[in-house]
Chains A and B, each alone.
Chain A
Amino acid sequence: MQRPLPSVPFVAGALLVAVSLAELTGVAVQAAAGPRDEDWAAVKAHLTASITAADGLVVGARWVEPLARQHLGDGLLTRERLGGEPGTWPSVWVVSDTARGSFLPGYRSDIAQHFGSLVLLKARAENPFRVLARLEAKLPEASVFLETNDREDPCTYGTSGAQSGNLGWGPALPAERFTCNGAFLARSVVTDTEYRAHDAIYTDVPGDGRTLIVRWPRMTMGTSLRGGYGLYAEAERDGKGADVRAEWRIDGQSVASLTHRDGEGWKGFEALVPTALQRDGILELRLQSPGGQRRLFGMSAALLEAVR
Chain B
Amino acid sequence: MRALGGAGWSRRAPSMWIVPLLSVVSVAWLGLLVVTSSNLGFARDEGFYFSAARSYAQWFDLLHQNWRGALEPGVVDAAWSVNHEHPSLVKSLFALSWLGLHEHLAWISSGSLAFRLPAMALSAFCVFCTGTLAAEAFGTAAGLAAAGFLAMCPGFFHHAHLACFDAPIAALWVLVAWAHLRALRMRSVGSFIVLGIAYGLALETKHNAWMLPAVLVPHGLLFGRRSVLGKPVFPWAIIAPYLIGPGVFVALWPWLWHDTWARMQGYAAFHLHHDYYNIEFLGRNVFSPPAPLAYLPVVVLATVPTTMVLAALFGMVARHNWLPSDGFSSRSTTHRDAALVVFCVLAVGASFGPFFLPNTPIFGGYKHWLPAYPFAAMLAGRGAAVGLAALCDRLQAGRRALATGLGLVAVLAGASAVTLHAHPFGIAPYVPGIGGMRGGARLGLNRQFWGYTTLNVAGVLNALPLRSRVFIHDTAWDSWAQLQSEGVVRGDLQATFAPSDADAALVHHELHMNEVEHSIWVAFETQSPKAVLTHDGVPYVSVYTRRTPK
Contacts and interface: CB of A to CB of B under 8 A. Distances in A.
A271 interface: no
A197 B513 CA distance: 12
A307 interface: no
A30 B435 contact: yes
Contacts of A149: none
B536 A34 contact: yes
B534 to A, nearest CB: 7
Determine the interface band of chain B, counting residues with CB < 8 A from chain A. Answer: 35 or more
Given A7-B390, A164-B523, A31 B436 contact: yes
A74 B390 contact: no
Given A21-B414, A166-B497, A70 B531 contact: yes
A23 interface: yes
Nearest to A7: B390
Nearest to B391: A13
Given A9-B386, A16-B384, A61 B518 contact: no
Nearest to A14: B391
Interface in B497-550: 497-500, 507, 509, 511-523, 526-532, 534, 536-539, 542
Contacts of A306: none
A228 to B, nearest CB: 15
A297 interface: no
Given A171-B518, A195-B514, A161 B442 contact: no
A23 B415 contact: yes
B411 A16 contact: yes
Contacts of A166: 471, 473, 497-498, 516
Nearest to A166: B497
A117 to B, nearest CB: 8
Contacts of A82: 521, 527
Given A22-B432, A164-B500, A12 B437 contact: no
Interface of B is mostly: helix
Nearest to B285: A195
Interface of B: 283, 285, 287, 305-307, 310-311, 314, 318, 322, 383-384, 386-391, 393, 407, 410-418, 421, 431-433, 435-439, 441-442, 447, 471, 473-474, 497-500, 507, 509, 511-523, 526-532, 534, 536-539, 542
16 contacts: A10-B391, A12-B310, A13-B387, A16-B310, A16-B411, A20-B412, A23-B305, A27-B417, A27-B432, A66-B542, A77-B527, A97-B438, A166-B497, A167-B474, A174-B522, A195-B285
Interface of A: 7-10, 12-17, 19-31, 33-35, 61-64, 66-67, 69-70, 72-74, 77-79, 82, 97-98, 117, 161-167, 169, 171-174, 188-191, 195-197, 232-234, 237
Given A16-B384, A23-B432, A27-B417, 20 more contacts: A9-B389, A10-B390, A10-B393, A12-B314, A12-B390, A13-B386, A15-B387, A20-B414, A21-B413, A22-B432, A24-B414, A30-B432, A66-B542, A67-B532, A70-B529, A79-B527, A165-B499, A167-B474, A174-B522, A196-B514
